[in-house]
A and B are shown apart, each in its own frame.
Chain A
Amino acid sequence: MTNFVDYLLGGFSNGAVIALMALAIVLVWRSTRMVNFAQVGQAMFTTYVALTIQQSTGSWILALVVAMAAGLVLGIVVFFLVIRPVKNSDSTGAIIATFGVLIALQAGAGMIWGGDPQGFLTPVDNSGIEFAGRIWPISLYDVLVLVVTAALVIGLTLLFTKTNLGLSMRAAAFNPEVARLSGVRVNRMLITGWAIAGATGAVGGVLIAPVSTISPNSFDILLVFAFTAAVIGGLDSLIGAVTFGIGTGLVISLVSGYSDSGNAPIVALILLALNLLLKPDGVFGHHGARSV
């Protein structure tokens, strides 16, 4: 039983990062109805930017803020690279184009920063907290990850539910033509969606880097987990992405704890396949919402 609790606790912060990546995928899906497979590549690239900032200034906060800003910009750049040229064809072309962007970003990062894994310093202690006479599998840094993730999720929820921008973005996502008739600048909303997704993914990258090291391909596996969480959550749902992001983190931790960490991606893919078979709209997805 102690093992079980320990494995669960150990999965939370990893799950939080998966949740952020899943959120980024959901944000892009909500704005343009497509999956951006370059999302983890963008996060990898902005994490290298953060690493450079951290190495030169020593400030983790500054590195995080610059990474978010870089994520915003990169989100907009990828939007124009991918969406604009294939705007008049079907979205399959655009989705394939996101793979192209992923490969280009990985190659680019390798050329700029080299292919060797690099360490990323944690801003706070990353060893297990000692409490009530034992060491728990959760560190101060894990707590920081959870706090930052929670703050971001709350911020995004407020943005979508309480602001005019959020209202316009939701409308633009569900029915662009009707939104335009209501005066919404739809293209601007779609770009904003990609930008916010870029910044969200950037936060995820900076948070995971200290525990995983960073190399041009180190986030690839994160794509599998985040995509699984986003799809099971319904692709449309922020709550779904967060719930199943954290859920995926816990499952990975249990699978790794009881068997071998190499089995985690297989389990994730089995979950994804089961979901597509049993509940293709996702657990939090509402099918009707797509037809107006």
Chain B
Amino acid sequence: MKYVLPLTHPLLATENVSITLSGLQILEDVSIGVPEGTVTGLIGPNGAGKTTVFNIMSGFLTPDSGNVRFDGKKLKHIKTHHLTKLGISRTLQGVGLFASLTALENVMLGGSARVKSGIVADSLGMPWADHEQNKLRAKAMETLTEFGIADVADRYPSELPYPVQKRVAIARSLISDPKVLLLDEPAGGISAGDMAELGRMIKSWTPERTVLLVEHHMELVMDVCDLIWVLDAGKVIASGTPEEVRNNPAVLAAYLGDEGEGH
């Protein structure tokens, strides 16, 4: 998928976002864009502010200044529970699965906002509420089947190997049929073979879906991203193709400096 800098109409963007937390400036005037249909990477040393960008995009944090734009519209006061309806889905570092829900229920939950039956009909066990829930259950089962893990539907996350838990988490974020997926370190803790599989999977989602990827594994980032933004100490220090970013002296300095500090 092609893009041209500067981006004219990114699907998702932060515009001059700054935020201070507990007296520390975490992000300073950060403007990044995610062109539609691309896999865009957001990288940087530890503490660069990558997850903070995600937290602002998902409404966990409100920036002191600047804003988030999605699909041409400024998002003011992002309500986290509205994200899936807007078409934005986020995975968390680790897996973020509900230990007390089965794999199937975890996936169903991702689509629960689309269920229209409502509190009263659910409480009274109305037939249409059952019908809606059965549809959701079937769709969740279908998604698990696509991911090749239909056999674990009734198992709890703690009973599943870590890579399978990761798949369940991704299945949960896909069931709401998002336009944009925010993936927060999807490759954390998985093997090289699973990582190659993950890379193929992420690429297969585009151009129908758009992906913003925060990831430490550079081989994965370089392999799947069309465009990469580099943050260091809360500021954007570089952007471009994987090739451009790889050869950018400022990026090298940032990463070497990070290692020099013993991270």
Query: Residues on A close to B: CB < 8 A?
Result: 155, 158-159, 162-168, 170-171, 174-175, 177-186, 188, 192, 196, 286, 288-289, 291-292
Contacts and interface: CB of A to CB of B under 8 A. Distances in A.
Contacts, number: 100
A185 B84 CA distance: 12
A164 B176 CA distance: 15
B100 A168 contact: no
A165 B130 CA distance: 11
A164 B117 contact: yes
A155 B122 CA distance: 11
A210 B232 CA distance: 71
B109 A182 contact: yes
B248 interface: no
A289 B157 CA distance: 11
B57 to A, nearest CB: 11
A164 B132 contact: yes
A292 B99 contact: yes
Residue among A159, A166, A171, A286 with most chain B CB within 10 A: A171
B174 to A, nearest CB: 12
B100 A170 contact: yes
Contact of B122 (A163, A188, A286): A163
Contacts of B90: 181
Residue of B113, B119, B125, B132 with most partner-chain A CB within 10 A: B119
5 contacts: A164-B117, A165-B123, A167-B109, A180-B81, A181-B92
B108 A183 contact: no
B133 interface: yes
B112 A167 contact: yes
Given A165-B123, A183-B84, A171 B101 contact: yes
Interface in B186-224: none
B33 to A, nearest CB: 22
B99 A174 contact: yes
Contacts of A188: 119
Given A165-B123, A182-B109, A292 B97 contact: yes
Nearest to B96: A178
Nearest to A291: B99
A288 B85 CA distance: 31
B20 interface: no
B109 A177 contact: no
Contacts of A166: 122
B112 A288 contact: no
A292 B82 CA distance: 22
Contact of B136 (A164, A177, A186): A164
Interface string B224-245: 0000000000000000000000
B162 interface: no
Contact of A168 (B58, B80, B85, B112): B112
B99 A165 contact: no
Given A171-B112, A175-B96, A292-B99, 11 more contacts: A162-B130, A163-B130, A164-B133, A167-B101, A167-B105, A181-B92, A182-B109, A182-B112, A182-B172, A184-B81, A292-B98
Interface in B159-183: 172, 176
Given A181-B58, A181-B90, A165 B119 contact: yes
B110 A182 contact: yes
Nearest to A161: B105
A170 B158 contact: no
B98 A162 contact: no
B60 interface: yes
B81 A164 contact: no
B17 interface: no
Interface in B24-62: 58-60
B152 interface: no
B101 A170 contact: yes
| Among A163, A180, A183, A192, residue most surrounded by chain B Cβ atoms (within 10 Å) | A183
A167 B134 CA distance: 13
Contacts of A184: 81, 109, 112-113
Contacts of A158: 125
A67 B117 CA distance: 26
Given A184-B81, A292-B96, A192 B101 contact: no
